[in-house]
Chain A
Amino acid sequence: MTEPELPSEAAIPTPRKSRDHLVDRLLSLFGVRLLLWFWLAAAFLPGILVDVQKVGNHFDEHFHFQHDDAARRTMVDYGQLPVWDPYTCGGIPGAGNPQTTFLAPDFGLRLLFGTEPGRRLAILLFSILGLEGMFLLARKHDATATGAAVGAIIFTMSGRFTHLIDRGWLNMLPFYLFPWIVLAFEKGLKSTRWRIFGGALLGWMVLCGGTYTYPYAVVLLGLLMVVELGQNLFPAQREVGAKWYSPILAVVTMGAVSVAVSAVHVFPMLEIVTGNPRPVETRTHFSAPDLLSHLTKAATGDGIDWTLAYIGLSVLVLAAFGALTSNKAARRFGALAVAFFLLGMGDFGPWAPFTWLVELPVYGQLRWPQRFLLPVAMFVGLCAGLGVSVIERAPAQLLGYMHKRWARPAAPGCRADGRFSHRKFSEIGENRSWASEATNPNWARWAWVGGGVVALFVGWYAAYRIGDAIGLNLAASNAIRVGRVFNDAPPLYDPDAEFTQARGNRWDAHVWPGLNQGMLACLEANKLPQSLLLRADLEQEEYPLDPAVASVKRVSWTPNAIELEVDAKEETLVLVNQNYHRKWTADVGEVVDHEGLLAVAVPAGVATVTLKYRDWAFEAGFWLSLLTVLALLAGLGVSGWRWLGELRGRWRAWGSGP
């Protein structure tokens, strides 16, 4: 039998950072983490699992459900993309509406499982991504697995997310991607793949109606870039392999990729945000104690008011402890938490950061500065996670220093930094000298080993109990309990109904798309034009201006195309009970604006008139986004193939021995 070949030096990978605990090793497995995240999400979101067709109570939830349901109906029932949305306000551009979500990857869940179940699955998806992102980010900065999990719990279960879910603002749930953005930036200092990945995530934010998430992410990246550039002024502080301009390169690449990915939404949206800016006049400000109370005041009962951002005073203390006692990253995160807190205080004076921020384009249309408490929760969570890690490591470190001091001589098994680890315990079984055999009697050696095991367990148990207490406390205030949010009866779905306009009611916007009715009385963030001639009592939705001159019959109707049979004795107008938009075209006659109403000037005679809505900005953006996504997928495929090749090389190089 041939002995297997020894691996070459090059084939032996560089050892990774050693793991301290069994828990760390277990949580290094993605499957184990996923199981934990599923379990935590079920504990935080039990209400999403019951009565899955019911909708939330709040009118903003109704508003967002209406948009999602209208988009789903357009895609599933009519087989079109909701580029034009006739269900809202008498007809508005669908793809360009800043808050639209149908282009986001998570909208696929609405398509597959139904509007409301899909929305709830999106909540689950984002919360799990938040947990995983926080965990990875904290681990990157030397948190223990338990500490990282505690940080993830603090961020994911923070009260501001409860508030977002209660209001149905799924377009803001990509705030859960913020840890990934930080991670992508940090790793992107040296890795192009991470820069591109970060850009794709930012693109997801835009596609998900990221009116707040994307601008906030830009602020986050700006601050990270400034901090990193400041550090790069001192070459000794610079990360190995990074250039002085790496932070700028990371931010620019991420920004460019995000625009390319989301061009399908950005291009048509530009027309709306520049032509119909959001009216924002009132500026809010909070005193520091007031804003701090948002973080420290728990919800009472099932109430969820707009100030809820609870993470708890004890967590803030733990975070301060972490920032003071842990590593440099913790201090940086602490400083960033303070910076975002200052932004969250809003327009409190001429030197307030928020006052300056809103002078920038786009930022002037943002309200509610207290939403900056979301990044605060992230950085506080990171500091607290690192604080828990300090506590977890303390007993073993203490024992390590005692061992160095008293064992004779300092045993090779004790690492230079004084930490104990399982790696060393395994050597005991191989008669390796963990505590010097020559100089220490057996009982002393085993006492040190036993002490090490106990110290590791005590540290971990302390961390676990801290995490447990924090999790229970956050769940008591912030969990989406059964009956807390989703209490309104499911809206009806009428598969046979012809589309008509209804007077509507924006407070109960969710009921209309299911009935295949548009909602005239509406609310949108941007002041979109509406015709005074829109009506909810018409015999037919398409009609002649003068019934004595022409007759009109609907042949077919879809959201983006309407086919009419027109019999006109003379040239006249055919009116459509929707708002005019210049991107409507007709194959017969000419589309005109009749007091804000969509109309076609038709010639005399009998004709079949087809009206179509075509948005060149959407189409240009669509192709750019599609090509970008295809390029990203191709890059992913190439990377995967290379990785497999590398693995095959290693497989061949490695022996089959144990």
Chain B
Amino acid sequence: MSRGSNPAANAPGTAIEPVWRRALRPVARWFEGTPSATRSDLVFRVVLSTLALVVALSWGVHRYWPLLKPAPRPVTHSEDEQTRYGLTLERRKQIFEFMATREPAAIAAGKRDFPTHAWSQQDHRAHFEHDNAKRAERQFGVSLATIFAVMQEGIHKKWRANSKAEPLIPTIIPLDPRR
């Protein structure tokens, strides 16, 4: 056992050490892995641990600041009939028409690929709808959420893709996930 960790070293009669040596002793004992045996050991270790934690947390907060103070999520207001989601009614109808004209092909593809499973037909149709929404996102320069919001507005208000078309189907096939 080193002298530093030996309590007998502090016994009365021991020669007085220089201050610098006394001050470094807790450091040496920590460095050696000796358990705390004096108050100065404990104080040094608490200070060291706290300091390390403060440095780590400071760096962590600095590094991950974009997550702790995130940019706000885009907000929209749907109350105004003429201008919704930042789009005029005409623009919204154009988006709806883009999506609605592609729906029959999506329904047909769903039936073709899953001829016996009604829920899968619907799900497959929805996948094509997703692809079309991605195209519309690029074509109209608005977000995917806006495309779907406009499409739902059209379903809700029974808009038609053209004068001969029927409104889009507003009902669903109940959940029946494939095994």
Task: Tell me whether A31 and B2 are in contact (CB under 8 A).
Answer: no
Task: Tell me whether A536 and B63 are in contact (CB under 8 A).
Answer: no
The verdict on A113 contacting B70 (CB below 8 Å), with A426-B28, A500-B156, A523-B177 known, is yes
B167, closest chain A residue (CB): A537
A569 within 8 Å of B by Cβ? no
A427: chain B residues at CB < 8 Å are 2-3
Task: Tell me whether A53 and B42 are in contact (CB under 8 A).
Answer: no
**Contact pattern, B 136-170, Cβ under 8 Å of A = 1, otherwise 0:** 01000001111011001001111000000001111
The verdict on A535 contacting B67 (CB below 8 Å), with A493-B76, A496-B77 known, is no
The verdict on A493 contacting B73 (CB below 8 Å), with A6-B11, A523-B175, A523-B177 known, is yes
A38: chain B residues at CB < 8 Å are 56, 59-60, 63-64
A530 within 8 Å of B by Cβ? yes
A19: chain B residues at CB < 8 Å are 32-33
The verdict on A53 contacting B74 (CB below 8 Å), with A31-B55, A34-B56, A89-B175 known, is yes
Task: Tell me whether B172 and A530 are in contact (CB under 8 A).
Answer: yes
CA–CA, A489 to B127, complex, Å? 18
CA–CA, A7 to B73, complex, Å? 61
A22: chain B residues at CB < 8 Å are 31
CA–CA, A121 to B41, complex, Å? 36
A361 within 8 Å of B by Cβ? no
Of B3, B67, B73, B179, which contacts A279 at CB under 8 A?
A: B179
The verdict on A432 contacting B2 (CB below 8 Å), with A3-B12, A492-B145, A503-B152 known, is yes
What is the total number of residues of chain B having a CB less than 8 Å from a CB of chain A? 87
B101 within 8 Å of A by Cβ? no
Of A282, A506, A528, A654, which contacts B38 at CB under 8 A?
A: A654
Of B52, B158, B174, which contacts A537 at CB under 8 A?
A: B158
A422 within 8 Å of B by Cβ? yes
B32, closest chain A residue (CB): A423
B129: chain A residues at CB < 8 Å are 505, 507
**Contact pattern, A 477-509, Cβ under 8 Å of B = 1, otherwise 0:** 000000000001111111111001011111110
B176: chain A residues at CB < 8 Å are 527
CB-contacts of B1-41 with A (<8 A): 2-4, 7-8, 10-12, 17, 21-23, 25-26, 28, 30-41
A465 within 8 Å of B by Cβ? no
Task: Tell me whether A422 and B177 are in contact (CB under 8 A).
Answer: no
Q: How large is the interface on A (under 10, 10 to 19, 20 to 34, 35 or more residues)?
A: 35 or more
B8: chain A residues at CB < 8 Å are 6
CB < 8 Å A-B pair total: 276
CA–CA, A336 to B11, complex, Å? 53
B79 within 8 Å of A by Cβ? yes
A3: chain B residues at CB < 8 Å are 12
CA–CA, A39 to B59, complex, Å? 9
CA–CA, A3 to B77, complex, Å? 76
B97 within 8 Å of A by Cβ? no
Closest chain B CB from A630 CB (angstroms) = 28
Closest chain B CB from A149 CB (angstroms) = 15
B49 within 8 Å of A by Cβ? yes
Closest chain B CB from A148 CB (angstroms) = 16
A493: chain B residues at CB < 8 Å are 73-76
B89 within 8 Å of A by Cβ? no
* Most B C-beta atoms less than 10 A away, residue of A24, A25, A427, A491: A491
CA–CA, A17 to B17, complex, Å? 29
CB-contacts of A1-52 with B (<8 A): 3-4, 6-7, 12-19, 22, 24-25, 28-32, 34-35, 38-39, 42, 48-50, 52
Task: Tell me whether A426 and B156 are in contact (CB under 8 A).
Answer: no
A637 within 8 Å of B by Cβ? no
Question: Which stretch of A252-260, A294-302, A435-443, A511-519 is in the interface?
Answer: A511-519
B133 within 8 Å of A by Cβ? yes
Task: Tell me whether B70 and A114 are in contact (CB under 8 A).
Answer: yes
A241 within 8 Å of B by Cβ? no
Task: Tell me whether A492 and B74 are in contact (CB under 8 A).
Answer: yes
8 contacts between A and B (CB under 8 A): A6-B8, A49-B66, A114-B73, A116-B70, A280-B179, A533-B171, A537-B158, A658-B17
A38-B60, A521-B126 known; 5 other A-B pairs, CB under 8 Å? A12-B7, A28-B33, A500-B156, A521-B122, A522-B175
